[in-house]
């Protein structure tokens, strides 16, 4: 187990916010490691600090104290632009409301992270985007515009966008929050497929159901880790999907 | 993000809000068109004034009796009798930078031929007058040196005189007209010059030997003026110095004393006229330029709206790795594109407007630099007024931006 590569390491990460005269302690010394190839769910009620933790993990914010190593790189003292570069190369985001560019095709949406990477030529970008879209099962909808797609399809595009730069971690923020049960399970099937391919996935959610399908669950409360359990009995999302009553509208 | 991609993103953003983009362009279009039209009218008027002045002849220098207004007192030049035959002769003898010299005496009055009459002016000149004015005799010949010496009653007439007095007589050369009851035999007809910029008919003229006009019509011994021409336009100043020196010596004017004559060059007149036109043009262009500033504020307003509207997009771009500079250049390029596109359309509209003005008879000429200037100013406006919104976009916090509703 210990031979596995550590992709994320948090060392007593604290994050304080100044709200008026009061100091709010959103994270009060969080430490954990995530290894390559894990599917981790981070769970907690609102106010537990999970959004703050997500921002830390996503290099959108830096700790007040402690240190966060992403792929061995210390993030705390990084400047804005350095973090932007780090996000571009190492992180793939999946958001709750998909956040696709309006009136833009699937391919163009998926290309977006590569737009900010000068190593990719236009043709390489397109190639990578098409490949990522095929990987999420949207090979037949490459040139559909974002407003012509269903919620599930849009989230698939968003996942493809998170995959396209071949990131160290995929960071999903309530990625099933806006979807119906059936589509949610479809997404979980997709995440489990990516997990099976060896990708590292961090899935932040308040839905306890999802923990059943991940390999490890970190539970937050009041800015501290309350529970950190490895799931030895990972359920198959595909089976759960098959067990769902069939929706005739589809 | 490279510039080609930035450009594509900007075009897309403008395209997705066509009407709004057009409205913010409209200010620029109107502003640029106004500047172009104003400049075209200014330049056109200037050119037409210049053309009119140069019609008077080339490198002309005029000597008039009497000094300029000095110390608040203007003297009456016609009462001054300071320019005389000796002056003319010494100018001719000492000429170095001056090529042609012609003394001038003028008389106005009625000219008669048969039952026809017309009011006109007689110009008493030397032969070199035609060289100074670059005027050629079309029919017949000019009068001769002999005529000047003998104060012969011969004349060369302008086209208008022929039309007014001798409409149906065939060849006017050899006919005798009367001016103030003195008979003048026509020896030649001048080529038509048309009207000058002050609306004066330059062809309504009789040119006779100056001696004839002085002795037989006016009975005076002084000249109204002396016209000269410099060798080249560049040597005008030297020619003026030469003339001043000669006349000061002739008139025995002591060092430091005021001259009793005034020398004006055509160049000087042209400059005075041009500078008047220039200041009018500047006033017009400044007024038009203000509308460009207003247009710039309009663009800034729209860009701010656009930034706020696309907060989420900015958040997304930042979270997938866009740096501040990527975001700010995206919005900056968008505002530059709006203003430059507006500028190009404005140039076209201005060009059309100028053609329209030309149709109404206004003298117009679009200076090439005004087009380049408009282009440069538009780019500058795009940068200047796009800068603040772009900065605002770049300084957004990605965490807040991505969750913005």
Candidates A60, A90, A162, partner chain B, best to mutate (most B CBs within 10 A): A60
Element (H, E) at B245: helix B236-250
**pLDDT beyond 90 at B265:** no
Kindly report, residue by residue over B63-115, the tens digit of the pLDDT.
888 755 555 556 565 556 788 888 898 888 888 888 899 999 999 989 998 88
From chain A residues 119-158, the ones with a CB under 8 A of any chain B CB are none
Nearest 10 degrees: CA dihedral of B249, B252, B255, B258?
A: -110
Cβ–Cβ contact B15 with A under 8 A: no
pLDDT at residue number B251: 84
Contacts of A95 in chain B (CB under 8 A): 316, 402
Chain A CB contacts of B1 below 8 Å: 115-116
- Residue spans of the domains in chain B: they are 3-52+272-402, 81-259
pLDDT tier, A66 (very low <50, low <70, confident <90, very high otherwise): very high
pTM score of the predicted model = 0.72
Q: How many CB atoms lie within 10 A of CB B353?
A: 19
Is there a contact between B189 and B157 (Cβ–Cβ < 8 Å)? yes
Query: Three-class SS of residue A173?
Result: strand
The residue-averaged pLDDT of A140-151 equals 90
- Is the predicted pLDDT of residue A135 greater than 60, yes or no? yes
Kindly state whether B363 is in contact with chain A, defined as any CB-CB distance less than 8 angstroms: no
Q: Average the pLDDT over each of A3-17, A234-248, B375-389 and give the range with the smallest value.
A: A234-248
- Testing the interface with A: which of B12, B13, B311, B316 to mutate, by most A Cβ within 10 A? B316
The answer, yes or no, to whether residue B387 has pLDDT greater than 90, is yes
Q: Kindly report which listed range (A13-22, A68-77, B174-183, B280-289) carries the lowest average pLDDT score.
A: B280-289
Question: Phi first, then psi: what are they for B139, rounded to 5°?
Answer: -120, 145
**DSSP code per residue over B279-319:** HHHHHHHHHHHHHHHHHHHHHHHHHHHHHHHTHHHHHHHHH
Chain B residues with CB-CB distance to A84 below 8 A: 318, 321-324
Q: In what order do the strands lie in the sheet with A216-221?
A: A91-94, A169-173, A200-205, A39-43, A216-221, A224-230
List Cα–Cα distances, A100 to A129, A149, B134, in angstroms. 14, 11, 78
| CB within 8 Å: B316 and A101 | yes
Tens digit of each residue's pLDDT (9 = 90 or more) over B47-61? 887 777 776 666 888
Provide the shortest C-alpha distance from residue B16 to chain A (in Å). 8
Return the pLDDT at B184. Answer: 92
Name the fold adopted by A6-243. Answer: Rossmann fold (3.40.50)
Q: How do strand B225-230 and strand B60-65 relate by DSSP bridges?
A: antiparallel
Tell me whether residues B321 and A87 touch, CB distance under 8 A. yes
Which of B16, B317, B399 comes nearest A61 by C-beta? B399
With vertex at residue A24, the alpha carbon angle to CA A18 and CA A25, rounded to the nearest 5 degrees, is 125
Set of chain A residues whose Cβ sits within 8 Å of the Cβ of B326: 116
Q: What is the pLDDT of residue B218?
A: 87
Instruction: At A83, list the tokens.
Output: 């973090």
B-chain residues within 8 Å CB-CB of A81? 323-325
Interface contact B16, partner A, CB < 8 A: yes
User: B323 vs A80: CB contact, 8 Å cut-off?
Assistant: yes
pLDDT at residue A199 is higher than 70:
yes
């Amino acid at each position: 187990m210990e031979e596995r590569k550590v992709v994320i390491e948090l060392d007593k990460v604290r994050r304080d916010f100044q709200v008026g005269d009061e100091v709010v302690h959103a994270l009060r010394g969080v430490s954990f490691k995530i290894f390559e190839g894990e599917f981790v769910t981070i769970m907690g009620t609102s106010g537990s600090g999970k959004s703050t933790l997500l921002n830390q993990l996503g290099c959108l914010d830096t700790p007040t104290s402690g240190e966060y190593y992403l792929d061995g790189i210390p993030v705390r003292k990084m400047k804005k632009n350095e973090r932007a570069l780090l996000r571009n190369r190492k992180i793939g985001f999946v958001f709750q409301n998909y956040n696709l560019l309006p009136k833009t095709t699937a391919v163009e949406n998926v290309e977006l992270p590569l737009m900010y990477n000068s190593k990719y030529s236009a043709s390489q970008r397109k190639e990578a985007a098409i490949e990522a879209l095929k990987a999420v099962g949207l090979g037949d909808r490459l040139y559909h515009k974002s407003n012509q797609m269903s919620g599930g399809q849009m989230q698939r595009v968003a996942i493809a966008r998170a995959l396209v730069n071949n990131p160290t971690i995929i960071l999903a923020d309530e990625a099933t929050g806006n979807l119906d049960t059936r589509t949610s399970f479809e997404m979980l099937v997709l995440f489990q497929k990516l997990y099976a391919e060896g990708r590292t996935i961090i899935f932040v959610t308040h839905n306890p159901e999802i923990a059943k399908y991940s390999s490890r669950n970190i539970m937050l409360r009041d800015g501290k880790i309350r529970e950190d359990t490895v799931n030895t009995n990972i359920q198959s999302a595909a089976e759960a999907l098959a067990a769902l009553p069939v929706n005739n509208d589809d | 993000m490279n510039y080609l991609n930035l450009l594509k993103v900007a075009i897309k953003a403008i395209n997705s809000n066509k009407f709004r983009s057009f409205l913010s362009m409209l200010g620029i279009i109107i502003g640029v068109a106004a500047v172009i039209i104003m400049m075209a009218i200014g330049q056109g008027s200037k050119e037409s004034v210049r053309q009119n002045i140069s019609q008077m002849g080339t490198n002309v220098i005029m000597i008039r009796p009497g000094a300029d207004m000095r110390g608040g007192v203007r003297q009456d030049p016609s009462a001054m009798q300071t320019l005389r035959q000796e002056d003319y002769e010494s100018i001719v003898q000492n000429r170095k930078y001056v090529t042609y010299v012609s003394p001038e005496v003028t008389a106005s009055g009625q000219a008669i031929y048969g039952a026809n009459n017309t009011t006109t002016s007689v110009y008493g000149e030397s032969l070199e007058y035609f060289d100074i004015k670059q005027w050629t005799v079309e029919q017949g010949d000019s009068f001769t040196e002999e005529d000047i010496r003998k104060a012969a009653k011969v004349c060369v007439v302008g086209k208008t005189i022929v039309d007014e007095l001798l409409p149906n007589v065939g060849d006017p050369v050899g006919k005798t007209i009367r001016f103030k009851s003195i008979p003048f035999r026509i020896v030649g007809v001048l080529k038509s010059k048309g009207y000058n910029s002050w609306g004066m008919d330059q062809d309504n003229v009789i040119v006779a030997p100056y001696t004839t006009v002085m002795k037989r019509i006016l009975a005076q011994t002084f000249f109204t003026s002396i016209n000269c021409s410099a060798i080249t336009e560049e040597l005008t100043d030297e020619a003026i110095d030469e003339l001043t020196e000669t006349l000061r010596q002739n008139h025995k004017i002591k060092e430091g004393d005021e001259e009793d004559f005034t020398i004006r060059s055509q160049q000087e007149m042209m400059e005075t006229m041009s500078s008047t036109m220039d200041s009018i043009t500047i006033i017009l262009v400044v007024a038009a330029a203000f509308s460009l500033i207003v247009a710039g504020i309009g663009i800034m307003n729209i860009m701010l709206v656009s930034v706020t509207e696309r907060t989420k997009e900015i958040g997304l771009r930042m979270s997938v790795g866009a740096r501040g500079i990527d975001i700010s250049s995206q919005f900056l390029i968008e505002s530059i594109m709006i203003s430059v596109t507006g500028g190009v359309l404005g140039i076209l509209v201005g060009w059309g407007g100028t053609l329209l003005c030309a149709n109404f008879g206004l003298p117009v000429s679009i200076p090439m630099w005004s087009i380049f200037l408009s282009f440069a100013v538009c780019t500058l406006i795009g940068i200047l007024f796009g800068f603040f919104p772009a900065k605002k976009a770049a300084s957004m916090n990605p965490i807040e931006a991505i969750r913005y509703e």
